[in-house]
Structure 1
């Protein structure tokens, strides 16, 4: 059950939207899943291994005493029920709310730890270790306060339980004395009842402890249950089939799209056609809609109206995994797994042979630097690839795209922020990679789009200019020309300086 719970949760988390992941701490999500997994273990052990035997003994002893002495059985039965009801009420109404709050701060502690550890390079760069320690200390202090309150409430609950048992013991003793005075019970009868109650009391104490454990396990599972109740955001249609992409022609057909919470759409009745094998540059100011354009093609968001077609197929009618599995992406900041270089390159096609992996690395101008490493292709790259330089990570990402050999390629300014030598090697690899593929290039530096077939200039969710570089640069007052001249002027100033 624990295995299935964590697998199912991971299945859902993997399929949550990019917006969900962008707004959620990875460390907090992991904490919710692992804490919920172990809560299942405690819950099952409490119900099956502890609670069930205790309840059986409790009921059996009460029935035995009632058969021997009905009045005594009634006192013990009512007292036991009152004890259990009081324990449940205190646990659910008094302890559980505090436990839920302490768990939420435990989750935040996990998120704060993961955030600081994963960004350790930035922490070191600014000498901010003390600052991060203080930040974590504030979170942990909050957690400590909430957890201490939960612990104190648990102690109060235990004290009330013990007091209730003492009252029940006194009631039983008083009942026994009254019956003895009336000649309805002998000293041996009293001894028998008290001995039986001491056994019963131990099981009542156990039941109280088991109820607290149940409450604890339920509290620990709450956030996991909420996680599993979270909607996917982007879901496949029932019966959706894999998409088959051949030529890679893309069409936006009267698309309207707005982000959740926004009143005004970014795209409204937006249409554009991209031919098979065409190399397209996407240019525009930040927030103009070019990044959203490629996200919609990947179906990281669903359109509000209209449809997006690839080779005449509406992508909303097909499975997301099959769509994204046929689109190769080289991001501006490529992310690598803390695995070997061979594993990272082969992530695009796990069935690839070592020779195919090496061939992809050669095409990406990555093979030479890989072979200079002590373990070559078996070198571990560090979390998110931190052991490699920016240019090396970029070439590994390009090798991954070569190995994928997908009909559609998306490039998010893969040569920005690199030294001249790395930029030249990567530019050569990209030119080889674009051959024979429908290519979309998100361009921040306009020098990278000069040789493309067509450039789409975005402004406030509209394509306001389109054409090749030579046509757009001659357009008086055009956005593209203005951007190009601004970048050329900045470059000239840099050279003069």
Structure 2
């Protein structure tokens, strides 16, 4: 894996160019207009020095016939002025056309990247900084504008002017054409080598730390509540300062290399200029060139020098843009976590009967499977509790139903349909989930409740909130359902967030319901309200309840007890409790003993705390 990544990064220009050509091919008319207009403008600019030479020759013949010289000079001047207008007009067309071209490509790239990232696996998202991913995408979108400007409006016309100038000079004076060709080749080769071998490695490292910088900022700001809880502001300041110091070090090295590269390129340009001027003077001395010809050569060089100097800057800018884009291009090389089969059909769930048929499943490259030949059926409309020690397999059970992972062997069926043969979106849209830690968008309460059904009316949203026992606290808010909940819902209490998640599940009206210990870590009043709402929510649905507190599964139709990836026990609360040596009974008694010990210890703790706070003088 490491070797593959290094190989890919070592040849970043190729993948980035392929990536850009793919996007340009979607906008062929605009691309043709930009490249055609700028090429025509450049060709017109090449001819201007030729007329400048003729103008000088006309003026030097003024002693013989001033009227004729004036006529030739005026005619030449008019042609030069006309060519100038043509250059300005064509360049304006090219510059105007590149704006919609760049904006549409930037839009396509952003949408495509977001589309892919949304569909990456759960493991990928768990192991990736969200802030870093955002930085990769936004930085690459900004780089598109630079690449379009550099390749289409700078390097492409530079190639046209260099080739055209070399051909014109070589046609009249082969030795001048040879000097210009050699100087151009050496300059371009040096520029490319400096950009790709000298600047690019440093730029890649500075980009990597820039990405890390963005990720660290997002991580610390997203967890600001934890930072405040532990008074760790100074510690986070120190952590961020150390990363900024590394960013400064690497960025300084990149900028120093850019400066050194520019100095070398400038020195080479002066060498080429001196050589051309010397050869042109030699030709004049030998009578093979007129003063106008020398003027033409020098004027041509000034035009070429401007392009060559810009080539150096543009190649450096292009390399920098490539470095900015390569991380986004790498995202497109990442495989999707789970892809729908080409012939995947939409799933329709009505009864919501679930079957695990000889299921084998292992995480990643783990040699030992979590499930080995697991078979179980959950009948339509059953309310089933999933209990067991942490890591026993109960959470994985519901993830396989959602097809967040594919099974290694066997099948998972819902109403007789294999989840692997259906589209993921149709499957998940028919499963309502109330997680242990509900996540809300930084949007209004109404938008969060309606997320399961975007077209829901205000009356439907309010009805769902009433069923979830959330309408009362929402009505007390100054802005009611229009209240913004903050990032991840931080403006709401845990119980309020949970009730919003339940309202969302009510509005989804899905035949299959998954509850992940929706009443854990709540106060008694919130728990009572949520239990009441959950009781209504489970009616008429197949419900799976992941339970850490066994008191929440007493009234369910059935309980599956997981132990190391197998279903160790299966039955009702009363049946399982009646097994003297049963695992469920041991878990229940352990929680009961813990609760009793906690309750009995509370008065002693309170007395000790009271004594510790009593002044010594008393």
TM-score tier after normalising by the smaller chain length? over 0.9
Matched, 1:239 2:346: no
Which position in structure 1 is the counterpart of 2:425? 321
Q: Flag the structure with more relative contact order, 1 or 2, with Cα contacts below 8 A and sequence separation at least 6.
A: 1
Distance 1:46 1:108 in 2: 27
State the SS of the aligned residue for 1:281: strand
Distance 2:290 2:540 in 1: 101
Which position in structure 1 is the counterpart of 2:244? 140
- Measured after TM superposition, the shift of residue 10 of structure 1 is 0.4
- The counterpart of 2:176, out of the listed 72, 96, 102, is 72
Which position in structure 2 is the counterpart of 1:456? 560
- Measured after TM superposition, the shift of residue 184 of structure 1 is 3.9
- Measured after TM superposition, the shift of residue 458 of structure 1 is 0.6
Distance 2:459 2:284 in 1: 94
- Measured after TM superposition, the shift of residue 190 of structure 1 is 3.8
- Measured after TM superposition, the shift of residue 178 of structure 1 is 4.2
CA RMSD of aligned residues (A): 1.3
Which position in structure 2 is the counterpart of 1:25? 129
Distance 2:217 2:201 in 1: 25
Which position in structure 2 is the counterpart of 1:330? 434
Distance 2:292 2:348 in 1: 86
Distance 1:376 1:201 in 2: 66
Which position in structure 1 is the counterpart of 2:371? 267
Which position in structure 2 is the counterpart of 1:421? 525
Distance 1:306 1:139 in 2: 48
Distance 1:187 1:242 in 2: 80
Distance 1:151 1:120 in 2: 34
- Measured after TM superposition, the shift of residue 147 of structure 1 is 1.4
- Runs of 5+ consecutive residues of structure 2 not aligned to the other structure: 1-104, 602-618
User: What does the per-residue CA deviation read over 1:265-284, in whole Å, with 9 as the maximum and x for residues that have no partner?
Assistant: 10011111000001111111
Which position in structure 2 is the counterpart of 1:404? 508
Which position in structure 2 is the counterpart of 1:57? 161
User: What does the per-residue CA deviation read over 1:153-174, in whole Å, with 9 as the maximum and x for residues that have no partner?
Assistant: 1112111111211221232233
- The counterpart of 1:390, out of the listed 472, 487, 494, is 494
Distance 1:176 1:349 in 2: 78
Does the 8 Å contact 1:366/1:396 carry over to 2?
yes
Structural mapping, 1:84-483, within 5 Å:
84-180=188-284, 182-185=286-289, 189-483=293-587
Instruction: Provide the TM-score with structure 2 as the length reference.
Output: 0.79
- Measured after TM superposition, the shift of residue 298 of structure 1 is 0.4
Distance 1:264 1:192 in 2: 79
Distance 1:142 1:75 in 2: 45
User: What does the per-residue CA deviation read over 1:235-294, in whole Å, with 9 as the maximum and x for residues that have no partner?
Assistant: 110121110000000000111100002111100111110000011111111111001101
Distance 2:373 2:263 in 1: 68
State the SS of the aligned residue for 2:346: coil
- Measured after TM superposition, the shift of residue 374 of structure 1 is 0.5
Does the 8 Å contact 1:252/1:307 carry over to 2?
yes
Distance 1:246 1:373 in 2: 38
User: What does the per-residue CA deviation read over 1:308-360, in whole Å, with 9 as the maximum and x for residues that have no partner?
Assistant: 00000000000111101100000010000111111110001111111111111
Higher helix share: 2
State the SS of the aligned residue for 1:347: helix
Does the 8 Å contact 1:55/1:207 carry over to 2?
no
Distance 1:238 1:149 in 2: 49
Distance 1:249 1:196 in 2: 81
Distance 2:183 2:244 in 1: 42
State the SS of the aligned residue for 1:399: helix
Distance 1:203 1:484 in 2: 81
State the SS of the aligned residue for 2:452: coil
Larger radius of gyration: 2
Distance 1:41 1:187 in 2: 44
Distance 1:219 1:313 in 2: 46
Does the 8 Å contact 1:328/1:409 carry over to 2?
yes
State which drifts further: 274-283 or 49-58.
49-58
Which position in structure 2 is the counterpart of 1:36? 140
Distance 1:90 1:203 in 2: 18
Instruction: Provide the TM-score with structure 1 as the length reference.
Output: 0.98
State the SS of the aligned residue for 1:458: strand
Which position in structure 1 is the counterpart of 2:62? none
Distance 2:427 2:578 in 1: 38
